[in-house]
């Protein structure tokens, strides 16, 4: 198919949610998956090279056209000023759920050191996290995980694309400090 | 001292709990987190606590737990260290657990900031059309407006159904084995297929009292677990059940 790239471009634009590679392949039956993948990569490169107002982003396991972040000022003028940002408490709770999922409330609380009922409820209402089940321990606590919408909102390809958590010095290094202390 | 007190008061809003306050104190005093001078930190922590208590008693609860932990650590630090530790347990620094907690907390604070700095949808980047929101909201655009149902309306619907049952049917002894878990599974399966479903559709033909009661309980349980949402178009209208989240 010669116009494969153009078809893919049209499909991605017309799709409401990020369009998965598998879905494109299902539509373009006769085209090889590797060919589709190559075309998508070409499209991404072309949009980047052209420095146009939109770029082709890989989001939540699919592809979607998005406006460039540096143009947000202008687009916001079009969209109005409504901007629902997350509180620091909600953001921290979300980060813990994202990195440590599947996770129960008590585990989130032991990291934050405070009650997280309110931020968890807010995140559920915003559809950024979801209930994935109940843990098989006494009390059957609810297990939380992030949603596809979380990936869409935070511009993530998948969960492994989350920025790596800063590692802290491990126990053996801590023991050194302890020895220092006991010597002094 | 009086000046310090006002200084503390201004900064109180920014603390997200006791761990946050401790991290602030560590940063302020330029302390090495792996070697916290527990006496100094405990003293300063208790000073802050006094102010928090005077402002908001509710808040003090979780802060008090940390205060007692600090004092406990401090007292353990005062105990002489045995020259030749007998086993691993006694060798552990009393501060180790707290340090681990502080570092973990700090790591996630940083992670939260990093997340916030990403190009966020509807803040930094925008898609072609409005973001597709919840299915229920989508439906409300072309259908009548949906109202989220409260518990009383659910009970009302339940009453209407029960009152419609044939009296004779109620007398029958039903040997069919039912469990709420089965019905919950059945509801979730049908919702994954049909997107939304009414209470009556869920019951189907088998309208005996037990099935109605069990189905009703299953719906209440699912709403509590936030697996589904119930909506109706008008008061006393048909109640439709939607999956609460997309998988």
Q: Which of B116, B151, B180 is the last residue before a domain boundary?
A: B116
Please indicate, yes or no, if residue B124 is contained in any of the structural domains.
no
Closest residue of B to A68, CA-based? B125
Residues 154-183 of A with CB under 8 A from B: 154-156, 162-163, 165-169, 173-175, 177-178, 180-182
Same domain, B139 and B204: yes
* Domain shared by B92 and B171, yes or no: no
Nearest CB to B111; choose among A134, A148, A165: A165
Query: Which residues in chain A (11-70) have CB-CB distances under 8 A to chain B?
Result: 13, 16-17, 57, 64-69
Give yes or no: residues B45 and B139 share one domain: no
Instruction: Specify whether the CB–CB gap between A14 and A7 falls below 8 A.
Output: no
Residues B95 and B48 in one domain: yes
Q: Rounded to 5 degrees, what are φ and ψ at A16?
A: -80, -40
Looking only at the bridges linking them, the beta strands covering B147-148 and A129-134 are unpaired
B210 in a structural domain: yes
Residues B169 and B110 in one domain: no
- Domains of chain A in start order, with CATH, are 4-74 (1.10.10.10), 88-161 (1.10.10.10)
Residue B130 lies in a domain: no
Same domain, B105 and B163: no
ipTM of the complex: 0.77
B91-140 pLDDT per residue, tens: 678 888 899 999 999 999 999 999 999 999 888 888 876 544 444 344 33
CA distance B134 to A128: 12
Chain B nearest-CA residue for A180: B35
Q: Which residue has the tokens 């694309």?
A: A161
Please check whether residues B23 and B73 belong to one and the same domain: yes
**Are the Cβ atoms of A91 and B126 closer than 8 angstroms?**
no
Tens-digit pLDDT profile for residues B140-191: 334 445 666 676 677 777 777 767 665 555 555 556 677 888 888 888 888 8
B152 and B112 belong to one structural domain: no
Contact A169 B125 (CB under 8 A): no
Residues B94 and B194 in one domain: no
B17 touches chain A (CB under 8 A): yes
- Indicate if B145 and B93 belong to the same structural domain: no
Å between B164 CA and nearest CA of chain A: 35
Find the range with the poorest average confidence among A151-155, B50-54, B224-228.
Answer: B50-54
Q: Which residues in chain A are closer than 8 Å to B138, comparing Cβ atoms?
A: none
Q: Do residues A155 and A57 make contact, with C-beta atoms less than 8 angstroms apart?
A: yes
**Position B127 in a domain:** no
Residue B174 falls inside a structural domain: yes
Portion 178-207 of B in contact with A at CB < 8 A: none
**C-alpha to C-alpha distance for A149 and B132, rounded to whole angstroms:** 10
Query: Position of tokens 């997107």?
Result: B195
What range defines the domain where residue B102 resides? 2-116
Across the interface, of B109, B115, B245, the residue whose CB is closest to A130 is B245
| Residues B100 and B140 occupy one common structural domain | no
- Are A82 and B91 in contact by the 8 Å Cβ rule? The answer is no
CATH code at position B144: 1.10.10.580
Residues B88 and B179 both lie in one domain: no
Question: Which of B116, B143, B165 is the last residue in one of the domains?
Answer: B116
**Would B126 be classed as within a structural domain?**
no
CA neighbor of B205 nearest in space, from B163, B169, B246, B244: B169
Q: Which residues of B touch A168 (CB under 8 A)?
A: 103-104, 106-107
Closest CA to B239 of B159, B133, B141, B180: B159
Q: How many domains in chain B?
A: 2
The answer to whether the CB atoms of B123 and A111 lie below 8 A apart is no
Residue B189: inside a domain, yes or no?
Answer: yes
Cβ <8 Å between A113 and B66: yes
- Which residues lie below 8 Å from residue B140, measured CB to CB, with a gap of 6+? B146
Taking contacts as CB-CB distances below 8 angstroms, the residues of chain A near B125 are 57, 66-69, 72, 155
Count the neighbouring beta carbons within 10 Å of the beta carbon of residue B51: 17
Could you list the pLDDT tens digit for every one of the 184 residues in chain A? 678 899 999 999 999 889 999 999 999 988 899 999 999 999 999 999 988 899 999 999 999 999 999 998 898 888 876 666 788 889 999 999 999 999 999 999 999 988 899 899 999 999 999 998 888 888 889 999 999 999 999 999 999 888 878 765 443 344 444 444 444 3
Residue pairs spanning A and B at CB distance below 8 A: 146
Q: Which of B116, B144, B166 is the last residue of a domain?
A: B116
Answer whether residue B61 is part of any domain: yes
3-class state of residue A176 by DSSP: helix
Sorted by sequence, the CB contacts under 8 Å of residue B17 that are 6+ apart come out as A112, A113, A114, B62, B63
Q: Give the count of alpha carbons within 13 A of B220, CB side only.
A: 14
Q: Is B131 on the interface with A (CB under 8 A)?
A: yes
């Amino acid at each position: 198919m010669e116009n494969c790239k153009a078809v893919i471009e049209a499909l991605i634009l017309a799709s409401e949610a990020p369009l998965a590679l598998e879905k494109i392949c299902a539509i373009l039956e006769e085209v090889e998956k590797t060919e589709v993948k190559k075309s998508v990569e070409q499209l991404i490169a072309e949009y980047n090279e052209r420095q146009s107002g939109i770029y082709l982003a890989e989001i939540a396991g699919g592809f979607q056209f998005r406006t460039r972040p540096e143009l947000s000022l202008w687009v916001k003028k079009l969209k109005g000023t409504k901007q629902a940002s997350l509180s620091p408490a909600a953001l921290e709770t979300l980060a813990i759920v994202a990195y440590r999922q599947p996770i129960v409330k008590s585990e989130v609380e032991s990291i934050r050191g405070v009650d997280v009922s309110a931020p968890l409820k807010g995140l559920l209402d915003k559809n950024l996290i979801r209930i994935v089940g109940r843990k098989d321990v006494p009390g059957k606590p609810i297990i939380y995980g992030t949603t596809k919408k979380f990936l869409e909102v935070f511009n993530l390809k998948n969960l492994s694309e989350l920025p790596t958590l800063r590692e802290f010095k491990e126990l053996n290094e801590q023991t050194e400090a302890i020895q220092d202390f006991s010597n002094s | 001292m009086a000046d310090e007190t006002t200084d503390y008061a201004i900064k109180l809003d920014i603390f997200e709990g006791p761990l946050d306050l401790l991290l602030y104190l560590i940063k302020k005093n330029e302390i090495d987190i792996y070697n916290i001078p527990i006496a100094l930190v405990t003293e300063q922590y208790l000073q802050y606590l006094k102010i928090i208590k005077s402002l908001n008693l509710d808040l003090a609860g979780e802060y008090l737990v940390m205060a007692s932990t600090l004092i406990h650590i401090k007292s353990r630090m005062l105990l002489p260290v045995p020259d030749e530790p007998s086993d691993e347990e006694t060798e552990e620094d009393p501060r180790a657990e707290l340090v681990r907690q502080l570092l973990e907390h700090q790591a996630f604070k940083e992670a939260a900031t990093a997340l916030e700095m990403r190009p966020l949808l509807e803040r930094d980047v925008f898609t072609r059309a409005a973001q597709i929101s919840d299915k229920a909201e989508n439906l409300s655009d072309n259908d009548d407006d949906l109202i989220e149902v409260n518990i009383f309306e659910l009970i009302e619907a339940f009453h209407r159904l029960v009152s419609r049952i044939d009296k004779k049917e109620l007398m029958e002894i039903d040997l069919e084995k039912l469990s709420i878990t089965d019905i919950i599974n059945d509801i979730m399966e049908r919702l994954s297929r049909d997107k939304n479903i009414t209470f009556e559709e869920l019951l189907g033909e088998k309208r005996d009292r037990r099935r109605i009661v069990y189905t009703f309980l299953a719906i209440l349980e699912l709403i509590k677990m936030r697996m589904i949402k119930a909506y109706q178009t008008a008061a006393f209208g048909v109640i439709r059940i939607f999956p609460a989240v997309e998988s």
